[in-house]
A and B are shown apart, each in its own frame.
Chain A
Amino acid sequence: MSLLHLLALSPFLLAAGLPLLGRAAPRLHRGWFAAALSAILFAALLGYSSNVRSGSSVTESFAWIPSLGISFTLYLDGLSLLFALLITGMGVLVAIYSIAYMNDASESLTRFYVLLLIFMGAMLGLVMSDNLLTLYGFWELTSITSFLLIGYNHHKHRSRYGALKSLLITMTGGLGLLTGFVLLYVMSGTYQIRELMDAGGTLVSHPLFVPAVLLILLGAFTKSAQYPFHIWLPDAMEAPTPVSAYLHSATMVKAGLYLVARLSPVFAGTAEWFWFVSLGGLITLIYGSVAAVKQTDLKGILAYSTISQLGLIMCLLGLSSLSVAFAGEESLLYAAAGTAALFHLLNHAVFKGSLFMIAGIVDHETGTRDVRKLGGLAQVMPIAFTISLFGALSMAGLPPFGGFISKEMFLEAVLEPLHAGVFRLETWAALFPIVAWIASVFTFVYSALLVVRTFLGPRKPALERKKVHDAPPLMTLPPALLAVLALILGLFPGLVSYSLIRPAAEAMMSHIPASGERLPGSIKLWHGWTPALGMTIGVVAAGIPLVLTARRWMKLYAWIPRRMSINRFYDASLLFFERITVRITSLYMNGSSRSYIKYILGFMMLVAGFILFNATDVTFRVGAYAVIAPYEWFIMLGLAAASLAVPFAKSRPVAIILTGTVGYLMTLMFVFLRAPDLALTQMVVESISVTLYLLCFYHLPKLRTESQAVRFRLPNFLVAVAVGVLMTLIALAVLGTNPFDPVSDYYVRESYESAGGKNIVNVILVDFRGFDTMLEIMVLGVASLGIYNMIKLRRKATDIGSRHVSHEGEDADEEAAQTRKSLYGYDGPRWRSDDAAEDPERAEKLKIQESPELPGAESGDSSPDKSETPPNSHAEGGDRDA
């Protein structure tokens, strides 16, 4: 356990202690704890930077599951450090921002910060893991925390929908990733990333190479919202804005990029890797930028813009892999794309973070995020306007902001493949600059529209009546800092280029010969009159007329057939699977316990019988038993009599007591066989389960006496006889066959020596197989919660419906839509805010909300825009009492 481990795991520790800390200091906002920890982590990680800068990396390892060869190895090189600083740095700002933003009930606030901290810990673990399996574990943990944070306002249907969507898509990718990792292990025999890098060259020719690439990219693409898996990100905007700014723009969605960058040394240099990564990125880039223009929700614009920017970075990562195919100076030319990717990653976090925070501020102050209802805010919110101007300029790639430099580097990088003669690039290379340029134009357009439609133009009458003003300082500070940082990154890129970007680029492209202080590609504001600068000027020249005429050509978007969208496909396939599952499940889950027992016994018979009759050296021991004492005969007879009597019992209590008799007679048997442990356990278990049975049956309706001649059922008879015969055979085989040394010898020998206990059973339970026990009690706990929920929540089923009607008109409406959907087939995702224009009902509703005369309009619960002022008091209180 090293300091580095402690740093990486400290968010988890704080998350565990936060509920207690919160109770100890009830006045202090929980966010301060998160902010303080992030700041400490940021400072501590900065301390490693001088180490990493000089080219050496930090490795700390300890054996986690040594018997499986899994170690928890943390590895901090340039790439990890860049991401770790991003995670903790953004963590500080987001935590501070959220203190002002999240001011609802304290109970759910603790939940929010616990999840945020777990996410931060998972993210840090992800970027520092050297072992693929621990990386995978952290990877899934980020998916789960993201799921829970998107569903933070869990009483809203759209939140639940968005959360489930993100979980399903990222988890599918996650499973692909795990499979890919296992394939990598099959190919190379190691889970350590650094060992994989050393084996990099030899893997390429392996037949499993392409499947592994595809599966790992599936994981990376789903996580980083690449086309066509991007559809979860816009719906994830239901999360509170700090979460959107942190998880869904700055950190979690970049985990896929991290993975691609991290594994580049293993995969780069092959045509498959190059084309999948760069083309996937390119398609996402153009798709995201085009789709962002038509969005009307501020966060929707930012979500699609994030998709697009992630595609840009992904494309750059793909382009940088070309450098492996070349050597010397030429290799450095292509490697510049990698540097651009890393620098843009940083820029994107900075400008997108500030823009998200501004979107939250606008929402907070005006009560809406719909750009059609906003406008002219520049006069009343000058600070927010300035910040968003900085962010948007950086996003559009205009000087003198950081985004300009990385956009220039990107445009240069897409031109490079024109001279590359590999991977069929001679025919297809022109695709890159053309698509990139078009996407840049659209990026310019949506960046401009974002600012123009929110802050310029006439103010809408609905906003006039509200007293809209700039946010409190605490809320303004984080985005302001980020906006200034965007400017600093543009004016003084040298601050980061050698300390952060270069070590990261070297880690990502280890094949580049160490060139001393030289960086592949150059991060400068002024590159001279390059073709890239020409392209940027072209972007502005084409973009400005498009922005001015936006109203006219926006109608074109209506021509895109809605039926073909991937969202429809997602919804339809979900529905399809639900139906199929219901159909399949109802085939065998017919509600009759007798059938279930038949399945269980039949299956057991098949498996055990198959093994028994296929095993070669099974001998059945017949005869030569120990002498059976008379009292043992009595017990056996009693056992048989009690079991046989159970089916004939007329009332339930009698049947239960008869079953109990079997159990207690077994106890007696164990006593005679001198197994006190078993006897004790059996006795206690029997007592409790008999009582439990009695309790359960007490609530059941009275048995109907139904006199019916007992029909002879052949299948039941066969199953019964077969199980009896099989169990007898197994018992005889166990006595007769002894193919292995019994494991008990080991336990007898070792339990006192190495575990210090004389009771072997208990030593096995708590020590030798302690891990099993831990998971078993965990399963027990989950089962008990399941029973609790099943019984307690069943009674509340009636008041859930009324709750929705009384507090959330819209949700009930949507619930109804859901029901309609399941009854009559597909009905479209009615909760998507951009559907409002097409949906007359919804448009009507929006109109109602605009007029402030109606008292209901201000209360906000039913507004599609006020998704973040949750009425959570009634949702929380219901099921907490025990």
Chain B
Amino acid sequence: MPKGSDIFLQNVSKVVFFIILAFALYLFFTGHGSPGGGFIAGLMSAGALLLLALAYDIETVRQVVPVDFKLVTAVGLLIALCTGTGALFFGEPFLKHAFGYFDLPLLGKTELHTALIFDLGVYLAVVGVTMTILLTIGEDS
């Protein structure tokens, strides 16, 4: 990957990176009620990291997020699997979700849904997969 040297891009992406991440976070949580969800949020987070990689270089991304993205994929898959398996312990079929409405402080009446945990698994898996592929190809020289 070419070494990024565009000062404008670098400075802009410093801010935009967090805006994209925040938006991804928003998309993730709002997913059940309005457009969004784990898949899109995951791709968008990966996109934010990608922007960073383009503006700086891959080493910077490695320093900012010092995790093995293959592990992120694995954790995501495990979460998805465990959410599915969890239903079995309540005598329900595999992957049966449960939800309820709760009055939470600050947030008011909020819907809590096991699907969100599953979605977290999807999110992590998508981030992990995308970043693994990007970094693998990008680092190869």
Instruction: Please report A residues at the B interface, Cβ cutoff 8 Å.
Output: 1, 62-66, 676-677, 680-681, 684-685, 687-688, 691-692, 695-696, 698-699, 755-759, 761-763, 765-767, 770-771, 773-774, 777-778, 780-781, 783-785, 787-788, 791-792, 795, 882
Whether the Cβ atoms of A791 and B137 lie closer than 8 Å is yes
Q: Does B11 sit within 8 A of A, measured CB to CB?
A: no
Per the bound structure, the CA–CA distance linking A762 and B38 in Å amounts to: 8
Whether the Cβ atoms of B91 and A785 lie closer than 8 Å is no
Q: Does B50 sit within 8 A of A, measured CB to CB?
A: yes
Whether the Cβ atoms of A759 and B77 lie closer than 8 Å is no
Whether the Cβ atoms of A698 and B32 lie closer than 8 Å is no
Residues of B68-98 at the interface with A, using a CB-CB cut-off of 8 Å, are 68-71, 73-74, 76-77, 80-81, 84, 88-91, 93-95, 97
CB-CB < 8 A to A784: which residues of B? 70, 73, 128-129, 132-133
Of the candidates B32, B38, B47, B115, the one whose C-beta lies within 8 Å of that of A758 is B32
Q: What's the dominant secondary structure at chain A's contact region? A: helix
Give the A-B pair count, Cβ closer than 8 A.
Answer: 159
Question: Size class of B's contact patch?
Answer: 35 or more
Of the candidates A757, A777, A791, the one whose C-beta lies within 8 Å of that of B32 is A757
Q: Quick one: given A63-B93, A761-B37, A762-B32, are A777 and B77 in contact (CB under 8 Å)?
A: yes
In the complex, per-residue mask of B16-49: 1 if CB is within 8 Å of any chain A CB, else 0: 0000000000010001111111111001101100
13 new A-B contacts, CB < 8 A, other than A676-B35, A687-B50, A777-B129, are: A62-B91, A680-B40, A687-B47, A695-B134, A696-B137, A756-B32, A757-B113, A773-B118, A774-B121, A784-B132, A787-B133, A788-B136, A791-B137
- The smallest beta-carbon distance between A862 and chain B, in angstroms, is 34
CB-CB < 8 A to A765: which residues of B? 37-39, 122
Which residue of B is nearest A67, CB measured? B93
- The smallest beta-carbon distance between A731 and chain B, in angstroms, is 25
Whether the Cβ atoms of A680 and B94 lie closer than 8 Å is no
CB-CB < 8 A to B34: which residues of A? 758-759
Q: Quick one: given A759-B31, A771-B94, are A691 and B84 in contact (CB under 8 Å)?
A: no
9 CB contacts below 8 A, A to B, read A64-B94, A65-B94, A680-B35, A755-B99, A755-B115, A756-B113, A759-B33, A767-B97, A792-B136
Whether the Cβ atoms of B118 and A788 lie closer than 8 Å is no
- The smallest beta-carbon distance between A803 and chain B, in angstroms, is 22
Per the bound structure, the CA–CA distance linking A691 and B50 in Å amounts to: 8
CB-CB < 8 A to B90: which residues of A? 1
Task: Enumerate the 7 nearest inter-chain pairs by beta-carbon distance, A residue then B residue, closest first.
Answer: A762-B37, A882-B68, A757-B32, A777-B125, A756-B99, A784-B129, A684-B43
- The smallest beta-carbon distance between A788 and chain B, in angstroms, is 5
Q: Does B141 sit within 8 A of A, measured CB to CB?
A: yes
Whether the Cβ atoms of B115 and A757 lie closer than 8 Å is yes
Whether the Cβ atoms of A781 and B73 lie closer than 8 Å is yes
Instruction: Please report B residues at the A interface, Cβ cutoff 8 Å.
Output: 1-2, 27, 31-40, 43-44, 46-47, 50, 54, 68-71, 73-74, 76-77, 80-81, 84, 88-91, 93-95, 97, 99, 111, 113, 115, 118-119, 121-122, 125-126, 128-130, 132-134, 136-138, 140-141
Per the bound structure, the CA–CA distance linking A784 and B129 in Å amounts to: 6
- The smallest beta-carbon distance between A439 and chain B, in angstroms, is 47
- The smallest beta-carbon distance between A398 and chain B, in angstroms, is 50
Of the candidates A1, A691, A692, the one whose C-beta lies within 8 Å of that of B91 is A1
- The smallest beta-carbon distance between B38 and chain A, in angstroms, is 7
Whether the Cβ atoms of A684 and B80 lie closer than 8 Å is no
Whether the Cβ atoms of A774 and B97 lie closer than 8 Å is no
Per the bound structure, the CA–CA distance linking A851 and B113 in Å amounts to: 71
Whether the Cβ atoms of A759 and B35 lie closer than 8 Å is yes
Of the candidates B89, B122, B141, the one whose C-beta lies within 8 Å of that of A699 is B141
Whether the Cβ atoms of A758 and B33 lie closer than 8 Å is yes
Which residue of B is nearest A788, CB measured? B136
Of the candidates B1, B97, B121, the one whose C-beta lies within 8 Å of that of A777 is B121
- The smallest beta-carbon distance between B86 and chain A, in angstroms, is 10
Per the bound structure, the CA–CA distance linking A757 and B118 in Å amounts to: 14
Which residue of B is nearest A771, CB measured? B95
Which residue of A is nearest B95, CB measured? A770
Q: What's the dominant secondary structure at chain B's contact region? A: helix
Per the bound structure, the CA–CA distance linking A687 and B54 in Å amounts to: 12
Per the bound structure, the CA–CA distance linking A774 and B119 in Å amounts to: 10
Whether the Cβ atoms of B141 and A781 lie closer than 8 Å is no
Which residue of A is nearest B46, CB measured? A688
Residue in A63, A676, A699, A781 with the greatest tally of chain B CB atoms within 10 Å: A781
CB-CB < 8 A to B40: which residues of A? 677, 680-681, 684
CB-CB < 8 A to B38: which residues of A? 765-766
Per the bound structure, the CA–CA distance linking A780 and B42 in Å amounts to: 13
Q: Quick one: given A688-B43, A778-B77, A788-B132, are A766 and B126 in contact (CB under 8 Å)?
A: no
- The smallest beta-carbon distance between B17 and chain A, in angstroms, is 14
Q: Quick one: given A766-B115, A788-B136, are A757 and B39 in contact (CB under 8 Å)?
A: no
Whether the Cβ atoms of A780 and B136 lie closer than 8 Å is no
Residue in A698, A758, A759, A766 with the greatest tally of chain B CB atoms within 10 Å: A766
Of the candidates B32, B43, B81, the one whose C-beta lies within 8 Å of that of A685 is B43
Residue in A65, A756, A759, A788 with the greatest tally of chain B CB atoms within 10 Å: A756
Whether the Cβ atoms of B115 and A65 lie closer than 8 Å is no
Which residue of A is nearest B45, CB measured? A684
Per the bound structure, the CA–CA distance linking A388 and B96 in Å amounts to: 54
Whether the Cβ atoms of A691 and B54 lie closer than 8 Å is yes
Whether the Cβ atoms of A774 and B84 lie closer than 8 Å is yes
Of the candidates A63, A677, A695, the one whose C-beta lies within 8 Å of that of B137 is A695
Which residue of A is nearest B123, CB measured? A777
CB-CB < 8 A to A681: which residues of B? 39-40, 43
- The smallest beta-carbon distance between A780 and chain B, in angstroms, is 4
Whether the Cβ atoms of A688 and B95 lie closer than 8 Å is no
Residue in B2, B54, B129 with the greatest tally of chain A CB atoms within 10 Å: B129
Per the bound structure, the CA–CA distance linking A766 and B43 in Å amounts to: 16
- The smallest beta-carbon distance between B78 and chain A, in angstroms, is 8
Of the candidates B1, B74, B77, B94, the one whose C-beta lies within 8 Å of that of A695 is B1
- The smallest beta-carbon distance between A405 and chain B, in angstroms, is 44
Of the candidates A687, A696, A766, the one whose C-beta lies within 8 Å of that of B37 is A766
Whether the Cβ atoms of B77 and A692 lie closer than 8 Å is no
CB-CB < 8 A to A62: which residues of B? 88, 91
Per the bound structure, the CA–CA distance linking A66 and B87 in Å amounts to: 14
Which residue of A is nearest B113, CB measured? A756
Whether the Cβ atoms of B129 and A770 lie closer than 8 Å is no
